[in-house]
Structure 1
Amino acid sequence: MIVSSSFSAPGSPSIPDAAPLSLCAREPHVPADRLVAEMVPPPRFGGARFDTYIPDPDQPSQTEAVRVLSAFAAGLDGADAGGTGGRRKLFGGFGGFGKAAKKAPSGPRGVYLDGGYGVGKTHLLASLWHATPAEPALKAFGTFVELTNLVGALGFQQTVATLSGHRLLCIDEFELDDPGDTVLVSSLLGKLVDAGVALAATSNTLPGRLGEGRFAAADFLREIQGLSAHFRALRIDGEDYRHRGLPEAPAPYADEQVTKAAQATEGASLDAFPQLLEHLARVHPSRYGALTDGVRAVCLTDVRPVPDQSTALRLVVLADRLYDREVPVLASGLPFDQLFGEEMLKGGYRKKYFRAISRLTALARDAKGLVEQD
């Protein structure tokens, strides 16, 4: 069954079904123009601003990040939005954001927010996007996965042409998972920097250490160092704000409770977790956002440990899209902190898995009302 990405636009009223929706019944098609149009902060961060970020008073690096990024955004005011063939004047040389520039800087052309999961990096990145004085069409926001998917859909040269006229490119969850992505992104960002595009990115890994523990990073040291040269790293310390001072996540529910809640909730989906994992292998990760179009809650039965790393990485992408879209997740089976085995949590992708656990736990907390109202 082929379901068009126009099945239901995000945020549009859902049509009541006789039975819960099924993610496994969906194989959405996502046209390239939608990938470009959706390069804006996701719904969860649509209202993110610097003054809505609440720094932890015990972590001065968070307050400093707001100051630096605010100056970064202000420093982009009046930049040439492309089309002149010359470099733009960007934030007065990277040593001091916001100072008047007499010539284009020769050093790093962007800022790299590094820190653990849950310290508010995505909130800050979205705030930067909103604060940058440019029309939405002249600034882009997307995850690393969405950026590589855009290259796959448009081709390298067309992606360069599409983004070269932008004033700012924000890349969330910047992670290099294979050598091909390393070369691809290094080449893309080099072209965009040459065109005068300012860069901002978030990650759990400093740019000079990208790829460690995942592939033979030494074989691609030149490309990785080239990526690092584009950024000034800004460290943000702190605890996971999603669980700071909050009660523990609810324990998994019984299958019957999850099924009943799905049937009683308009726009809810209901799937067995093992079957959903199998289905994700048949849908490209670039379509996981469209997979959830019009879904107001995801209900899963029989949650169990993820069997292998490829499946685990696909689940991470789905968790990110659900979190971005603020879709609560109600589940039976094992709790989410038991999704990934000990070997996975000690491996090169461990930060991705911890982020997924954190986000799914937050969404499970959001779903408590589905059972309580039943």
Structure 2
Amino acid sequence: MASPVTREPAQARGPVRSALDRLIAAKEIEADPAQRQVADRLDRLDRVLSSATVASKQSALGWLFGKSRPSEPIKGLYIFGDVGRGKTMLMDMFFRQSSVAAKRRVHFHDFMGDVHARIGAHREAVKAGTAKGDDPIPPVAADIARAARLLCFDEFSVTDIADAMILSRLFKALFEQGVTLVATSNVAPDDLYRDGLNRPLFLPFVDMLKANADIVELAGAEDYRLATIGSDDCYVTPLGPAATARMDAAWAALLAGTREGTASLSVKGRTVAVPRAGGGAARFTYDNLLRRPLGAQDFLAVARRFHTVMIDDVPVMGEAERNEAKRFIMLVDALYDAGRRLVMSADAPAEALYRGANGTEAFEFDRTVSRLIEMRSDDYLARSSAGPAGEPASSASAPAPAENRGTG
């Protein structure tokens, strides 16, 4: 019997659903009923936004300025689910085709960084006498609302107390000025800022979020990006152009068309820069991860944040690289304990990667070799698709304890 999707008239489908169906027809992605349902929800929201835009422009002020705010705020969408379910892909489709002219698409933590910069600039302007008002939130929110009636956030995750303490007031002002929110996240609203400092002060924002956005879970049985990474792709050796090409192919599969950017993690007041990030994965070179003065807490933060970590160009390590070897051991332990995937290119097989004979690193590296071998086994890769035992993969982006709050 034909499914409801095949019986649906093509003209009834909106642009997001149509774009999704084209990818399915081209066999670029697998058909997923849950993705189709979210696409339809996004299309319905765009129709409401489009109608509101037309109505506002029909008024005298709307015709003159093109920026009239609707009398009632339009409820947005908060889409959450495990990594690799297609949340970012769908939101990007929606953003590209949205009829709203004043719109902004940004990673949530980049947005909050911009907000803090605006707050600082306003305070400096007050000191200089060029601005008035002790409370920077209203003017900052007004500036944001003037520039964008539609805000699309990728990877909504509240992990920093400075963000948590201003979100309620900031978004109250934004919603009052008619801003509509569309966001993707790995966690349900009730799990935002879990175990964070002074969390009761943050909870009013959760209620406000639920009142101003429909909460939609994008469930799915499989992480399509992780399914493309097989055991042969996890440890690539020896180094050279062929290894680089295989690493680039694995990275493209993990991104699955999503936008690559940078990220950062805040650990005990320090910032751990992630030079390449996207789709819940992070990519480093040996130099920019293991030659830096990072410790166990830093690697734990990386493991919490990303479901897959890629490392390019790992050389054979010896006595002169004992510090790097120690960091590599800690990194592998963190990823292994969290059930995360490691994809790396190396100059030698795992059992020949460390050649030092002295110190504890030589003894500890034996455990690392064993774990590296297990981490590219079919059993481990199958487990890592669903996260650690008894824990969903989305925990990678769950808020860390207070001392390991991430911002990436």
Provide the rounded CA distance (Å) in 1 between the counterparts of 2:198 and 2:338.
Answer: 19
- Where does residue 180 of structure 1 map in the other structure? 162
- Asked whether the 8 Å contact 1:340–1:353 carries over to 2, the reply is no
User: 1:217 Cα deviation (Å)?
Assistant: 3.1
Residue of 37, 47, 57 corresponding to 1:64 = 37
Residue of 132, 142, 153 corresponding to 1:161 = 142
Change (3 A) 1:67 1:242: same
Identity between Structure 1 and Structure 2 (%): 21
| Deviations 1:252-282, CA, capped at 9 Å, x for gaps | 346x7279978xx9xxxxxxxxxxx99x999
- Asked whether the 8 Å contact 2:157–2:397 carries over to 1, the reply is no
Q: Which amino acid aligns with 2:226?
A: H
User: 1:240 Cα deviation (Å)?
Assistant: 1.0
- Where does residue 133 of structure 1 map in the other structure? 99
User: 1:349 Cα deviation (Å)?
Assistant: 11
Residue of 312, 336, 351 corresponding to 2:394 = 351
- Where does residue 252 of structure 1 map in the other structure? 235
Q: Secondary structure at the match of 2:166?
A: helix
Change (3 A) 1:151 1:354: closer
- Asked whether the 8 Å contact 2:82–2:393 carries over to 1, the reply is no
Change (3 A) 1:133 1:84: closer
Q: Secondary structure at the match of 1:340?
A: helix
User: 1:146 Cα deviation (Å)?
Assistant: 0.6
Change (3 A) 1:281 1:349: farther
| Structure 1 segment 317-336 matched on structure 2, within 5 A | 330-332=312-314
Provide the rounded CA distance (Å) in 1 between the counterparts of 2:159 and 2:391.
Answer: 9
Provide the rounded CA distance (Å) in 2 between the counterparts of 1:219 and 1:258.
Answer: 53
Query: Which structure dedicates a bigger proportion of its chain to helix?
Result: 2
- Where does residue 270 of structure 1 map in the other structure? none
Provide the rounded CA distance (Å) in 2 between the counterparts of 1:147 and 1:49.
Answer: 27
Unaligned stretches of 5+ in structure 1?
1-47, 89-102, 266-276, 292-296, 356-374
Greater radius of gyration (CA): 2
Q: Secondary structure at the match of 2:105?
A: strand
Q: Secondary structure at the match of 1:146?
A: helix
Change (3 A) 1:310 1:149: farther
| Deviations 1:336-359, CA, capped at 9 Å, x for gaps | 87543637987999736379xxxx
- Where does residue 342 of structure 1 map in the other structure? 337
Q: TM-score under structure 1 normalisation?
A: 0.55
Provide the rounded CA distance (Å) in 1 between the counterparts of 2:142 and 2:83.
Answer: 33
| Deviations 1:66-104, CA, capped at 9 Å, x for gaps | 11111212221152498688642xxxxxxxxxxxxxx63
- Where does residue 321 of structure 2 map in the other structure? none
Provide the rounded CA distance (Å) in 2 between the counterparts of 1:258 and 1:339.
Answer: 28
Change (3 A) 1:307 1:249: farther
Matching of residue 124 in structure 1 with residue 90 in structure 2 = yes
Provide the rounded CA distance (Å) in 2 between the counterparts of 1:214 and 1:142.
Answer: 24
| Structure 1 segment 1-374 matched on structure 2, within 5 A | 49-51=19-21, 54=24, 56-57=30-31, 59-78=32-51, 79=53, 80=56, 87-88=69-70, 104=72, 109-135=75-101, 138-155=102-119, 156-157=137-138, 159-165=140-146, 166-215=148-197, 217-238=199-220, 239-244=222-227, 247-248=230-231, 250-253=233-236, 257=239, 299-300=285-286, 307-310=295-298, 312-313=300-301, 330-332=312-314, 339-340=334-335, 342=337, 351=394, 353=396
Higher relative contact order (CA 8 A, sep 6+): 1
| Deviations 1:280-300, CA, capped at 9 Å, x for gaps | 999967x86699xxxxx9532
Provide the rounded CA distance (Å) in 1 between the counterparts of 2:154 and 2:180.
Answer: 14
Q: Which amino acid aligns with 2:105?
A: F
Change (3 A) 1:329 1:215: same
Provide the rounded CA distance (Å) in 1 between the counterparts of 2:218 and 2:89.
Answer: 12
Change (3 A) 1:84 1:131: closer
Change (3 A) 1:222 1:242: same
Q: Secondary structure at the match of 2:92?
A: helix
- Asked whether the 8 Å contact 2:107–2:155 carries over to 1, the reply is yes
- Asked whether the 8 Å contact 1:113–1:202 carries over to 2, the reply is yes
Provide the rounded CA distance (Å) in 1 between the counterparts of 2:30 and 2:236.
Answer: 33
- Asked whether the 8 Å contact 1:109–1:193 carries over to 2, the reply is no
Q: Which amino acid aligns with 1:134?
A: V
Q: Which amino acid aligns with 1:143?
A: H
- Paired positions, count: 263
Change (3 A) 1:139 1:337: farther
Q: Which amino acid aligns with 1:340?
A: L
Q: TM-score under structure 2 normalisation?
A: 0.51
User: 1:188 Cα deviation (Å)?
Assistant: 1.9
Q: Which amino acid aligns with 2:394?
A: K
| Deviations 1:288-330, CA, capped at 9 Å, x for gaps | 6699xxxxx95326869x744455546888x79x99xxxx852
- Asked whether the 8 Å contact 1:144–1:172 carries over to 2, the reply is yes
Q: Secondary structure at the match of 1:257?
A: coil
Provide the rounded CA distance (Å) in 1 between the counterparts of 2:33 and 2:202.
Answer: 35
User: 1:183 Cα deviation (Å)?
Assistant: 2.6
Provide the rounded CA distance (Å) in 2 between the counterparts of 1:197 and 1:308.
Answer: 41
